[in-house]
Amino acid sequence: MENKGANNTGNEKKSQRIAANSFVLFVRMFFITIINLYSVRLVLDGLGAEDYGIFNAVAGVVMMSSFVSGVMELSIQRFYSIALGRNDEKSLNEIFSISIKILFVLAVVLLLLFESVGIWFLETKLNIPETRMYATRLCFQFSLFAFVLSIMQIPFSSAIFARENMGCYALVSSIDCVLKVIVASLIGVVMVDSLVFYSGGLLLVAFVVFLMYSIYCSKNYKECRYQRVKNATLAKKLLSFSGWTLFGSVSKVCMIQGNTILLNIYFGPLVNVAFAISQQINNAFNALCNSMVLAMRPAMIKSYAEGNYEYLNKLFSACNKFIYYVLLIVSLPMISEMDTILHLWLGNSVTPQILLFSRLIIVYVVCLAMNNPITTIIQASGHIKYYHLSVESITLLCLPVSWVLFKFGLQAEYVFVSMIGVCVLTHFVRLVCLRYYYPAFSLSDYFCSLCLPALLITVAGCLFTYFVSGLIYDDILSAIVVFVSEPCLVGMLVLVLGLNADERRAVSKMLKKISKKFIK
């Protein structure tokens, strides 16, 4: 009985830490989103249209490899969290030291690749005025070394994530964002070529961020000190895990880029504009989803490593509900009032196709977001080879399906039918894999506790939003009323229908704590 009570107390403290981390990450996300929107305007005004286009083209060439660093970061976080869950202090330093070696080799390979093939592509394939070529070459070099610094900071930032120190992460990323705004605001003030100054300033910011992460981790985490370690087995496991995770990332990139090419071939560049705008909305929703998942992922992996499956199941349920209901609260008013939102954002450039694509991409993002908790447990178990083979092979079917639909004369929006259909199909495959590799998971509980209540709440929310929007003829007033009333209704329905008794008590406790702080 004492052990059970101690476990419950420990689990409650973990849950409170997760709630606090989620709040910190949400604040960070909104702060950074506002600053980034303002920063884009400063950069565009400072550089001018031509240099802004050159910068994005050059940075795009370098950032094509960014998904590789993202995969390595996810992999290292996973191994850190497993070692922390098992209280294996020795492995922590081995993971850090080996990851430093691997990332150093990766950085050197990418550096050599971009200094040869990248420069060739820059000078022969990109459409850059001859008068701006010198500045463009410097911009390329600065962007490349900033990317290398972002790779080398991964072992440090991964340690912070694994330790669930989201306050430090939020602080450093906010400083990073503010420094970039300062650089953007100084464009044209400093007597240096604007493109060279801006790209050089971003390199300086990347160096400062690297120093902050490395100094903080070296002082606070004893495992974050490089030592010569020979552990071929661990290195092989880390690379193997990264390799299969990379396969998953590549398949998603191929799906988006492949569909972009297909849309261009069958419908021309105007449809590509609509698809590109929908991808901006996709990126914004992904940032929101990542903020929710970041707080829970380390705790889920640690719980698996500890063998605390009861608590892991609670986290899994809470994570699914948290992701779906928050996205539902945001997505329903956005879909309903998308016409008004796009006209405020893009002015008179909005076409019916842009409007339709923007709505459909939100449906796709919500479906895709529900895969995150499943993938986290599979990654914790280490059974990723057959998981990614089965899931991503189906994901790649999206391209031939889109091609067949276009061949039969269907319109461009059917690309989303292909994407959403494949996403739903792979979700069922993910659930089957989860049931096979994690026997503590119950499919019946998943459908009864999540799917059925979520369906009822979604239908009720859609009907309410449609009814309220139809009553008000003024577009701005309609958007305000929908964005205020819909979250209130869905929030109440979630409390009554979507959460179990334990989850309601946890939400009630959190709301009481927040209210006490503000009342004081």
Q: How far apart are CA 334 and CA 482, in angstroms?
A: 9
* 179 pLDDT higher than 80: yes
Q: Residue 352 has which token pair? A: 């019916």
* 21 pLDDT higher than 80: no
**3-state SS track over 377-412:** HHHHHCCCHHHHHHHHHHHCCHHHHHHHHHHCCCCC
Helix (H, G, I), strand (E, B) or coil at 238: helix
What is residue 247's predicted lDDT score, i.e. its pLDDT? 67
Angle in degrees, CA 252, 256, 257, rounded to 5: 110
Greatest mean pLDDT range, 61-65, 217-221, 276-280, 516-520: 217-221
**Helix orientation angle between 194-220 and 133-152, rounded to the nearest 10 degrees:** 10
**Band (455; pLDDT cuts 50, 70, 90):** very high
What is residue 1's predicted lDDT score, i.e. its pLDDT? 46
Burial class of 237 by CB neighbour count within 10 A (0 to 12, 13 to 18, 19+): middle
Q: How far apart are CA 120 and CA 102, in angstroms?
A: 27
| pLDDT tens-digit map of 263-295 | 877 887 677 778 877 877 887 787 777 777 777
Residues 351 and 278: beta-carbon distance below 8 Å: no
Higher pLDDT among residues 357 and 251, named by residue: 357
Reference 329, options 132, 495, 141, 117; nearest CA is 495
Residues 296 and 315: beta-carbon distance below 8 Å: yes
What is residue 2's predicted lDDT score, i.e. its pLDDT? 46
Higher pLDDT among residues 247 and 168, named by residue: 168
* 254 pLDDT higher than 80: no
* 5 pLDDT higher than 60: no
* 68 pLDDT higher than 90: no
Q: Residue 289 has which token pair? A: 């989803």
Q: Residue 43 has which token pair? A: 């950069």
Higher pLDDT among residues 203 and 42, named by residue: 203
| pLDDT tens-digit map of 207-249 | 999 999 999 988 888 878 888 877 777 777 777 767 666 666 6
- Which residue type sits at 313? N
Radius of gyration of the chain (CA): 24
Residues 300 and 319: beta-carbon distance below 8 Å: yes
- The region of weakest confidence among 280-289, 382-391, 443-452 is 280-289
Burial class of 147 by CB neighbour count within 10 A (0 to 12, 13 to 18, 19+): buried
Q: What are phi and psi of 440, to 5 degrees?
A: -70, -10
- The region of weakest confidence among 12-21, 224-233, 443-452, 499-508 is 12-21
Residues 413 and 467: beta-carbon distance below 8 Å: no
Q: What percent of the chain has pLDDT over 90?
A: 21
Reference 341, options 260, 284, 288, 385; nearest CA is 284
| pLDDT tens-digit map of 112-141 | 988 888 888 778 866 778 888 888 889 889
Q: Residue 410 has which token pair? A: 């269907």
Higher pLDDT among residues 490 and 21, named by residue: 490
Helices and strands: H and E segment counts in the chain: 21, 0
| pLDDT tens-digit map of 492-507 | 999 888 888 877 877 7
Higher pLDDT among residues 44 and 221, named by residue: 221
What is residue 405's predicted lDDT score, i.e. its pLDDT? 93
Helical segments of 64-88, H only: 66-85
CA 310 remoteness from chain centre: 27
Give the chain's length: 520
What is residue 33's predicted lDDT score, i.e. its pLDDT? 66
**Band (66; pLDDT cuts 50, 70, 90):** low
